[in-house]
Structure formats: C-alpha cells, structure tokens
Chain A
Amino acid sequence: MSGDFWFDTILGLVLLTLALATVRAQQLAAAVMIFVVFGLILAVAWARLGAADLALAEAAIGAGLTGALLFSALARQAKAESAPVSKSSSRSSWLVLLLSLMLTGILCFSLWWVPLQPEHHLMPLALEHLANSGTEHPVTAVLLNFRAWDTLLELIVLLLALMGARLVSSPMLQTPQRWPLASQWSKRLAPLLILVAFFVLWRGATAPGGAFQAGALLAAAAVVLRLNHQLPPLHWRYGWVRLIVLSGVLAFVVAGIASALLQYQPALLIHWLEWPLWLAKPLILFIELCATLAIGLTLTLLVVGEPEELSS
C-alpha cells in the first residue's frame, strides 16, 4: 500500500462525506459553503487523475462560479421560509433515493465491464491531424477546430441560460454594505484575476486552459468588483453589453462564414467551420478571445445582474 493509495482513498472518502454533508446540511448557507469546498476537493481529485483541464475547469466553475451563483441566490432569497416537509415529498424522496441507489448499482456493475484500455480510434486520428488544426493542444484543437460546432452550440447554451434568467424576474440582490477592506481587497484582486484569465486563455493553445476557464476567472473578477460597487451596473439595454455577450457566438459565425467565403469554390460543397490552414491559429485566437469576453460578461450578468437591468 503506497502513500498514493492512501491519499486517493482519503480523497474519495472526503468527497463522499462532503457530498453527504451538502445534502444533509440544515442551513442553506452551510450547504452552499460545503458545496464550494466539495468543488475544490473535486478539482484536486481531477488533478490526481491527470486531467488538468478538468481540474482547472472544476476549480473555476464548480467551486468559484457555482459558489458565487449559489451565494447570490442566497442573498436574493427573502427571509428563509422553510417549507413544511410534506409526507408525500418524503415519500418521493425515498423514491429518489431508491432510484439513485439503483442507478449507482447499475453504473458500478457496468463500469466493471468497461475495458480498462478503451480502443481509442479518435485519439490517434486527432493527434495525426493536430498539426493542421492551428493549435498544439489536442483539447483546444478538439474544442475549437475538430468539434467547433459543439463549442459554438455550447456558447449558445450559455447565452440561453442568460436569456432564461433574464426572463424570470427575481427579487432584488441584497448587496452587502460598503466594506472598506473588501473594496481594497477587490481592487487588488481584480487585476490579478484578469491577468490570470488572459494567461489561461493564452496557455490554452499549448497546454490545459482555454476560453471557458478564462471567462470564468474574468467573471469572478467582475463579480467581485460589482459586489463592491466598483463597477457600474451592467444594463442589458446598453448596446455594448449585448455585443460582448453575443461576441463569442458572433465571432464563431463570422469566422465560419469568412473562412467559407475565403475557400469558396462554386462546384464544391461549402465546409462549415473549416478554417484555412494559414488562418487557423489567428482565427482560433480571435474566437477564444471573444468567447472569453462573452463568457465572462455572461457569467457576471448571471450572478449579479439586477432585475431591472436584465429585463428590458
């Protein structure tokens, strides 16, 4: 039994304990807090598994952003009215438990059968074409070139999340009182975060990182600033706000159309999202940049957007 084994075991147990604690927590605030911790530990777990991308993403999104979202949700809640737990809902929770257990059981059972070394057809293929993709990192290549269409659609998903949130008018955000220390702290933190964000973005071309993580960091910075009233309210009716939010998708579409036009040959099929080799890297960078900004702003709006700002 190596130290690694014990570390992994303890990690797994801690994860399970935290998950259980999140569910069983009496107070919402505590649950949220434990959830944030859970996200952080999970990031460590991903890192242990060798998935640096996922670890980064988990840290940024699972711990940071989700935590912020949940906290803002908490803040928006009026006096916590605990709904009486009805009998039927307890019955249904038993059902849910049963369902989860069953699912887990089946999952374990089938994982047993998963070949440890899956016959990967795509990995060699991807690596083979990596040189033509305009980026060195396979993940980025997949995201922004091989399966760029998925990414484009995911960006739209994010956009949609924002639009959905805009439509549900929620109570006022209860921002805390101006707190000198916090505002000082945020003044220092925000530039740092922005810097890190752009670093992560840049790194994406060669190593784990990319637009989603960068955007999340950017958003974190914006949220912090906004919560400390160091940023003016972001109104949906401002053209630039909308433009930035849309910029990710727009950049994709424009890039796609532009490259299609550049490669246009009347007799042939137009290949959608096929970057010309010489333009691939700048295009990907352009798209990533726009996407980062869009993601950042979108997430910010999701977290701190005020009702009157959001709804038209």
Chain B
Amino acid sequence: MLSNVVEWLWPGASFGLANQLAQLWFGFTLLLWLAAACYSVTFIKRQVGFYWLFFIVAMSGNLLLIVAQDVLGFYLGFALMSLSAYALVIHSGSSQARRAGRLYLQLAIVGELLLFAAIVLRVHESDGNLALAELTMDSIQPLTLLLLLLGFGLKAGFFPLHVWLPQAHPAAPAPASAVLSGAMIKAGLFGLWVFVPASAVVVQQWAVVLLVLGLCSALFGAVIALWHQQSKVVLAYSSVSQMGYMLMALAIVWLSTGDARVMAATVLVGYACHHAFLKAALFLGAGACSSYRLQRFHWLAIGWCLFTLVALPLSSGAAVKYGLKQGLMAQQSSPVWLAEWLYGLLSVGALTTALLALHLWCLLRQQQMATHSQSMPAVSGWMNSGWLILVVASISMPFAVISTQPFWWASISLSAVWASSWPVLAAVLLFLIVRQIGWILPERWRDPQSRFVWLSLRAKRLYQTQSRAEWQVRWPGWRSLERQINQGLQRAELLSTAAVVLSSVMLILWLLH
C-alpha cells in the first residue's frame, strides 16, 4: 500500500493505491489502455495528433482517478477522462459522430456538475475532509447519495442513464470504444464504490433498489441489443447490460457485512476486470471486422470473448457470475424473497446475454461476409498485439488475479457448471428454433432510433440562441418637447417674469413672516 501526500499540488493532493483491489483496478485499466494504444497505432489514420493527445489525457485522467487519494484529485481525473473522451467520440468527424458527441458531451457536463455538487456535499458532510479514505466513514444525506448516483451513473451507463452509450460507442473509433466501454464507464462504478459509505442507513435502504435496478439494466440492455443490427451498438447495449450486473455487485457490496463484503468487493473488481478485457477485445474485433480481413484465429478470439461473455465454465465470466450469485445469497440486508427472486432472474439474464452473444456473432460474420474480404487489408501487427494482449488477459485473468481464483475453482464444480450452462443451452436452442422458423425481425423494429439524440438537438437550440437587441427606452415626441423646454428656458422675457416671480415669492415670504 503506497499513499503519498503531495504538498505542492492542489490542497490535500495525495496519491496511492489503497488496497489490493484498487491495485487490481489500476492494473486492468492500465493494461486496457495499453492494448488500445497498441491497436490505435495503425488503426488511427486521420488527425493522429489530436487523437493521441486526447487519448493520453483521457488515459491519465482515468489512471489518476484510481490513484488519487483525495477528492479533488479524483474529480480532476474523472473530469479529464470524461471530457477528453469527447474528442475520441467525435474523432471520425462524421455527422453521426458529431451528434453522438453532442449528446455525450451534454450528458458528461451535466454529470460532471451533478458530481461536483455531490462531491461538495459529501466533503461538507465530513467536515471538509479531502482524503477519500476518511469519506467512507461518515453518514450520507439522501440528496448527496442521489447526486452521486446520478453523476456517476451517467458515466457508468446503467439502465435509465445509459442513453449516450449506444450513440457514442458506435461513433467512436474501435480502440476508443474499447477504452470507453472497458475502462471509462467502470470509473463511474469506481467512483460510487469510493464515495458512498457502505454502512450508512440511507445506503442500506437504497442498495436494495439498486440491486433491482441493476438487474433491470442487465435484462434491458441485453434484450434491446437484439433489436439492433450494428455490431457496435449491440456491444454498447451489452455494456449497459453488464454494467447492470456490476451495479448489482456494488449493491451487494453495500448490503453485505464483514467477510461477505470483502468477498463482494472482490467480485465487483473481478467483474469489472473481466468485463473490461472481454468488452475491449470485442470492440477491437468489431472495429477490425468492418474494414480488415480477419484470420481464423481472430474469429477464435472473438469466439472466446463471447464464450466469456456468456459466462461459460472455465472462463473468467463463470467465475465472476458465480461470485455474484454467492454474494447475492450471502448478504443478509435485503429480504430473502427478493434475493431468491433475483437469483432466479440472474439465469434469465444469462439467457438473454447468450442470445445477445449469438446475435452478435451472426452480425459480425455477416459484416465480414458482406464486404469483399480479399480486397481488405490484413490486420496489422500492432493491432494484433493489442488484441492479443486483451484476449490473453481475459483468458488468464482467473489465474493471474489471485482474489478471484476461489470463484473460478468453485465455478467449475458440476452444479455451477450446470447453473451457468443451461441458460446458454436454452438460448442456443431458442436461437436455432427462430433460425429454423425463419423468423426475422420486422424491418420497422430494427435499429430503433433513440429519442435522446433529438432531445439533445432541442437542448442545443435552446442554448444557442441568437442575440436579441438590448432593451431600450423610447419616449415618443421626447426630442421636440425637450426643444420646447430649452427654448422656453432661454427666452428673453423670462428674466422679467423671473423678477416678478422672485419679487412675489419674497413678498409672500415677507408678509407671511
């Protein structure tokens, strides 16, 4: 554990990685960025300077927020990350990207402000303590909690706050999407983890809601994804879905106590790590799929990632899912019936996730087929290496990350294998049946447009108004009246009049006196 107060930076600045989990978080984030960087070397072809500038700023922001041990440092990192990501989103310069970017930026700013308010309130609640470590000890006001949830939630992108995700991810270049989905949205989660004091009463009450919300998000994301025909949109919705699981994990962390909490935290970090690698790898794959000629091992890698996504045994997914279920059952704060219901619904979630994976596989294949693969360039070494890092990391995660190893071992027990496999099998079955029937999604249901892009345009019109003329006083006939007065004031007879008036005044004065 290294923590380090730096006197000469902003007030209270201190850095360090508080515990093993934070180290792990830092580690996977760093790896993710490195992989994306490798991938970007040849993938990015226009406006390279800008791309790298903002890539690096976003990366440093992301790393800073993990490393920061004080509020301001965290906020600095968070803001740097989320704002410079805007440049990554609109990098392609297409109108779609700009629309998506606008929505992203609007929400990022709003989120930033809400977060700022939340942080200020939070610090105020704890008597101006700027050290993160001391924040978690205190109670929390409902308003602060709400603001925190909204602020971080807008970044984390779970269910009701996910609106920017399906827009921004397809617009951004693949490596940018990878880090967006793999690392940046996790930062929101990380923030919640860091800022919300688990033991506060309010948190205990709200966590149950969050648990349900997380599951909703998980189901919603996966189901909506099936409607979409663009691979990156599907991936984005998958992220929404997966963030739902992670939200559940977080809620479990809050709800559980003692050792169970440590376990739940491990699950949370493990889940984040797992999802980061696989989603980044998938995005890289999806990016390569549209404009590069893929080799067989590429498809293998994509397959493995999907395999992991649906949490089939031996993958890291299975481990973290198992951990999640364990955690859900281990916590005692929520009603038992709710936990059991949720436990059951998690299987439905797995089913939908599997459907999504299959849908995605088909889409990617179609994408590759649709283009003349021979005329496509081959995937370059840099890209391969970036991809490779992620896939290898994904495969090796259960072994490399010691804290999740118990779950992995547990997940290959027979019951666990069955529990994780039957939804997948059901999904495959369902998929095959649908295939067999030949039912395809009606045209008008495909790619539903999000209303939020339109709303963002309206919002923009609201604040980009034309200047109006200043309010001016106009008096009709003012000038001529004034001229008359002036002429009157300078008349010759005025003197004698004045003399008379003066004399009368004095006379009256005198007589009265």
A91 at the interface (CB under 8 A from B): yes
Q: Say which one of A33-41, A95-103, A127-135 lies at the interface with B.
A: A95-103
B507 at the interface (CB under 8 A from A): yes
Asked if B496 contacts A96 (CB within 8 A), the reply is yes
Interface residues of B in 43-95 (CB under 8 A from A): none
B503 at the interface (CB under 8 A from A): yes
Complex: A102 Cα to B504 Cα, angstroms: 9
Asked if B507 contacts A95 (CB within 8 A), the reply is no
Asked if B503 contacts A95 (CB within 8 A), the reply is no
Asked if B500 contacts A91 (CB within 8 A), the reply is no
B430 at the interface (CB under 8 A from A): no
Asked if A102 contacts B507 (CB within 8 A), the reply is yes
Interface string of A75-90 (1 = CB under 8 A from B): 0000000000000100
Chain B hits for A206, CB < 8 A:
none
* A interface majority secondary structure: helix
Complex: A95 Cα to B496 Cα, angstroms: 7
Chain A hits for B507, CB < 8 A:
102, 106
Partner of A102, one of B492, B497, B503: B503
**Can you name the residue of chain A whose Cβ is closest to the Cβ of B493?**
A92
Complex: A310 Cα to B492 Cα, angstroms: 32
Contact size range, B: 10 to 19
Interface residues of A in 94-127 (CB under 8 A from B): 95-96, 98-99, 102-103, 106
**Can you name the residue of chain B whose Cβ is closest to the Cβ of A96?**
B496
Known: A99-B499, A99-B503. 6 other contacts (CB 8 A): A92-B492, A92-B493, A92-B496, A98-B500, A99-B500, A102-B503
Complex: A95 Cα to B500 Cα, angstroms: 7
Smallest CB–CB gap between A89 and chain B, Å?
A: 8
Smallest CB–CB gap between A64 and chain B, Å?
A: 32
Chain A hits for B492, CB < 8 A:
88, 92
Complex: A133 Cα to B499 Cα, angstroms: 44
Interface residues of B in 11-25 (CB under 8 A from A): none
Smallest CB–CB gap between A176 and chain B, Å?
A: 37
Contact size range, A: 10 to 19
Residues of B within 8 A of A (CB): 491-493, 496-497, 499-500, 503-504, 507
Chain B hits for A95, CB < 8 A:
493, 496-497, 499-500
Among A91, A92, A103, the most chain B Cβ lie within 10 Å of the Cβ of A92
Complex: A95 Cα to B501 Cα, angstroms: 10
Smallest CB–CB gap between A165 and chain B, Å?
A: 25
Smallest CB–CB gap between B433 and chain A, Å?
A: 112
Knowing A102-B507, A106-B507, the reply to whether A91 touches B493 (Cβ < 8 A) is: yes
Chain A hits for B500, CB < 8 A:
95, 98-99, 102
Chain B hits for A99, CB < 8 A:
496, 499-500, 503
Chain A hits for B493, CB < 8 A:
88, 91-92, 95
Smallest CB–CB gap between B43 and chain A, Å?
A: 95
Chain B hits for A91, CB < 8 A:
493
Smallest CB–CB gap between B498 and chain A, Å?
A: 10
A-B contact pairs, 5 of them (CB 8 A): A88-B493, A92-B496, A95-B500, A99-B503, A102-B503
Which 4 interchain pairs have the tightest Cβ spacing?
A: A92-B493, A95-B496, A92-B496, A99-B500
Complex: A99 Cα to B506 Cα, angstroms: 13
Smallest CB–CB gap between B59 and chain A, Å?
A: 90
Smallest CB–CB gap between A18 and chain B, Å?
A: 25
Interface string of A116-159 (1 = CB under 8 A from B): 00000000000000000000000000000000000000000000
Complex: A186 Cα to B499 Cα, angstroms: 47
Chain A hits for B504, CB < 8 A:
102
Chain B hits for A96, CB < 8 A:
496
Complex: A66 Cα to B493 Cα, angstroms: 29
Complex: A82 Cα to B491 Cα, angstroms: 23
Complex: A103 Cα to B503 Cα, angstroms: 9
**Can you name the residue of chain B whose Cβ is closest to the Cβ of A102?**
B503
**Can you name the residue of chain A whose Cβ is closest to the Cβ of B503?**
A102
**Can you name the residue of chain A whose Cβ is closest to the Cβ of B499?**
A99
Complex: A106 Cα to B503 Cα, angstroms: 10
Complex: A88 Cα to B504 Cα, angstroms: 21
Smallest CB–CB gap between A100 and chain B, Å?
A: 11
Chain B hits for A106, CB < 8 A:
507
Complex: A55 Cα to B309 Cα, angstroms: 135
Smallest CB–CB gap between B187 and chain A, Å?
A: 88
Complex: A236 Cα to B499 Cα, angstroms: 40
**Can you name the residue of chain B whose Cβ is closest to the Cβ of A94?**
B496
Complex: A156 Cα to B235 Cα, angstroms: 111
Chain A hits for B499, CB < 8 A:
95, 99
Smallest CB–CB gap between A230 and chain B, Å?
A: 45
**Can you name the residue of chain B whose Cβ is closest to the Cβ of A106?**
B507
Complex: A24 Cα to B507 Cα, angstroms: 30
